[in-house]
A and B are shown apart, each in its own frame.
Chain A
Amino acid sequence: MELASDRRLIYPIWLSVRIRIRQQGGKELSETEPEIEDLIASVARALDLDIREHQKPGIVANFRNFLNLYHAVEGFEEPVAPDPLGIYAP
Chain B
Amino acid sequence: MTLGPAEALSVAAAVRAGVRSATDVVTDALAAIEARDGNLGCFVSVFREDACRQAAEMETTRYPGLLAGVPFAVKDLFDVAGRITRAGSVIRRDYPPAREDATAVGRLRQAGAVPLGSTNMDEFAFGFTTENPHYGPTRNPWDRARIAGGSSGGSAAAVADGLVPIALGTDTNGSVRVPAALCGVYGFKPTYGRISRAGTAPLAWSFDHVGFFARSTRDIAAVFDVLQGADPRDPVCIEQAAIPVSASLERGAEGLRIAIAGGHFSIGGRASAFAAVDRASAALNVRRAVDVPEAGRAVAASLLITSSEAASLHVSEIRARPDDFDPHTRDRWIAATMIPSIWYHAAQRFRRAFREKILKLFEDIDVLVTPTTPFEAPLLGQGSIEIDGSEVPVRPTLARFVAPFSFVGCPALSAPVRTGDAMPLGVQIVAAPHNDTAVLRVAHALEETGEIGSV
The B299-355 residues at the A interface (CB cut-off 8 A) are 300-301, 303-304, 307, 315, 318-319, 322, 327-328, 330-332, 334-343, 346-353, 355
Q: Are B353 and A43 in contact (CB under 8 A)?
A: no
From DSSP, what is the main secondary structure of chain B's interface residues? Answer: helix
| Beta-carbon contact of B192 and A55 below 8 Å | no
Task: State the CA gap A76–B295 with chains docked (Å).
Answer: 12
* B379 CB, nearest partner CB in chain A, Å: 23
Q: Mark A59-71, 1 if CB is under 8 A from B, else 0.
A: 1101101101110
Let me know if A90 and B409 touch, CB within 8 A.
Answer: yes
Q: Which residues of A contact B210 (CB under 8 A)?
A: none
B45 at the interface (CB under 8 A from A): no
Closest beta carbon of chain A to B104's beta carbon, Å: 19
Contacts of B342 in A (CB 8 A): 6, 9-10
Interface size on A, residues (CB 8 A): 40
B340 touches A10 (CB 8 A): yes
Q: Is the CB of B192 within 8 A of A77?
A: no
Contact A77 B322, beta carbon cutoff 8 Å: no
Tell me, in angstroms, the Cα distance from A48 to B319 when the chains sit together. Answer: 7
Cβ contact within 8 Å between B322 and A50: yes
Count of B interface residues, CB-CB < 8 Å: 47
On chain A, the residues within 8 Å of B406 by CB distance are 90
In the complex, which of the residues B303, B332, B337, B407 contacts A69, with contact meaning CB atoms closer than 8 Å? B303
B207 within 8 A of A: yes
Whole-angstrom distance between the Cβ of A68 and the nearest chain B Cβ:
8
Tell which of A62, A74, A90 touches B351, judged by Cβ atoms closer than 8 Å. Answer: A90
Given A73-B346, A87-B351, verify A40-B328 contact (CB < 8 Å): no
Q: Does B356 touch A at the CB level, under 8 Å?
A: yes
Q: Are B338 and A80 in contact (CB under 8 A)?
A: no
Would you call A19 an interface residue if the criterion is a C-beta within 8 Å of the partner chain's C-beta atoms? no
Nearest chain B residue, comparing its CB with the CB of A3: B342
* Interface members, chain B 20-45 (any A CB < 8 Å): none
Determine if B304 and A66 form an interchain contact, defined as CB atoms under 8 angstroms apart: yes
Instruction: Point out the residues of chain A lying under 8 angstroms from B303, CB to CB.
Output: 69
Give chain A nearest CB distance to B333 CB in angstroms. Answer: 9
* B193 → A minimal CB distance (Å): 8
Q: How far is the CB of A40 from chain B (nearest CB, A)?
A: 6
On chain B, the residues within 8 Å of A83 by CB distance are 352
Instruction: Give the shortest distance, in Å, between A54 (CB) and chain B (any CB).
Output: 9
Q: Assess the B335–A63 pair: CB atoms within 8 A.
A: yes
Is A78's beta carbon under 8 Å from chain B?
A: yes
Residues of A within 8 A of B407 (CB): 90
- The reply on B236 being an interface residue by CB < 8 A is yes
A40 to B333, CA, bound (A): 12
> In the complex, what residue of chain B is closest to A52 when comparing beta carbons?
B322
Residues of B within 8 A of A44 (CB): 334, 338
Chain A interface residues (CB < 8 Å from chain B): 2, 6, 9-10, 14, 39-40, 43-44, 47-51, 55, 58-60, 62-63, 65-66, 68-70, 72-74, 76-80, 82-83, 86-90
**9 other A-B residue contacts (CB within 8 Å) besides A73-B300, A78-B353:** A2-B346, A48-B319, A49-B315, A55-B327, A55-B330, A66-B336, A69-B347, A87-B348, A89-B206
